[in-house]
């Protein structure tokens, strides 16, 4: 005659609690808080950069000129667009000339510069939905190459027009509290 052992409900509850506690103790050390300061970013692109012209801009129907400011791991961009065709209401497009703004953080891996942020107003406050221009997420990737200490070249992965940016002013990275 064989005896059968039956577990009491309290034994299975204790085993479940023990298993849950072990999982918690194993997973808890893998969590970490976000840093209290902004990251250092890439030293070579720290500063204000301006695009003066676009290749063959007189022949293009529309183009954009970019002004970037890289400060530590943050970026601010002003996109000055020019168009010879009417895309919308003239109150918005101002006779074929308008500006858009974006801010966020960037990351450089090898020769790729990835910008991730949001479209903003001219004072870099978050832009609300609606209005004349783009709003919401700004997500852009560029191939980055340097052409000396005061010139960088960017080629957007979503556009075929290369950008040649000239250094306006170096800005040292002084990480700020978040």
**Phi, psi (degrees; rounded to nearest 5) at 20:** -65, -40
**Percent of residues, the chain, with pLDDT higher than 90:** 47
The per-residue pLDDT for 8 is 58
Asked if residue 10 is part of any domain, the answer here is no
Asked if residue 5 is part of any domain, the answer here is no
Asked if residue 29 is part of any domain, the answer here is no
Give the CA dihedral 45, 175, 101, 109, nearest 10 degrees: 40
For 47, the domain range is 43-169
DSSP code, position 171: -
Radius of gyration of the chain (CA): 26
Asked if residue 73 is part of any domain, the answer here is yes
Side-chain-facing half-sphere of 175: CA atoms under 13 Å: 12
Rounded to an integer, what distance in angstroms lies between the CA atom of residue 169 and that of residue 57?
A: 25
CATH classification at residue 115: 2.40.128
Report the SS3 class of residue 122: coil
Residues of the chain with pLDDT under 70: 1-15, 22-36, 87-90, 178
Q: Provide the domain count of the chain.
A: 1
Asked if residue 118 is part of any domain, the answer here is yes
The per-residue pLDDT for 174 is 85
Asked if residue 140 is part of any domain, the answer here is yes
Asked if residue 36 is part of any domain, the answer here is no
Asked if residue 21 is part of any domain, the answer here is no
What DSSP letter does each residue of 34-90 carry, written as one string? Answer: PPSB-----GGG-EEEE----TTTTT-SEEEEEEEEEETTEEEEEEEEEESS--S-H
Give the CA dihedral 80, 134, 140, 163, nearest 10 degrees: -20
């Amino acid at each position: 005659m064989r005896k059968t052992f039956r577990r009491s409900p309290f034994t299975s509850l204790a085993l479940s609690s023990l298993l849950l506690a072990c999982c918690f103790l194993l997973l808890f050390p893998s969590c970490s808080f976000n840093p209290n300061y902004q990251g250092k970013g890439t030293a070579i692109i720290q500063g204000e950069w301006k695009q003066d012209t676009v290749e063959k801009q007189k022949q293009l129907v529309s183009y954009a000129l970019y002004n970037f400011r890289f400060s530590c791991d943050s970026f601010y961009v002003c996109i000055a667009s020019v168009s010879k065709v009417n895309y919308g209401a003239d109150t918005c497009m101002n006779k074929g000339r308008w500006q858009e703004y974006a801010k966020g953080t960037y990351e450089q891996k090898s020769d790729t510069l990835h910008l991730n942020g949001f479209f903003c107003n001219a004072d870099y406050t978050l832009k609300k939905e609606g209005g004349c221009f783009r709003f919401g997420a700004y997500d852009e990737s560029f191939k980055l190459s340097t052409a000396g200490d005061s010139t960088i070249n960017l080629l957007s992965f979503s556009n075929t027009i290369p950008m040649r940016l000239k250094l306006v002013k170096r800005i040292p990275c002084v990480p700020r509290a978040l």
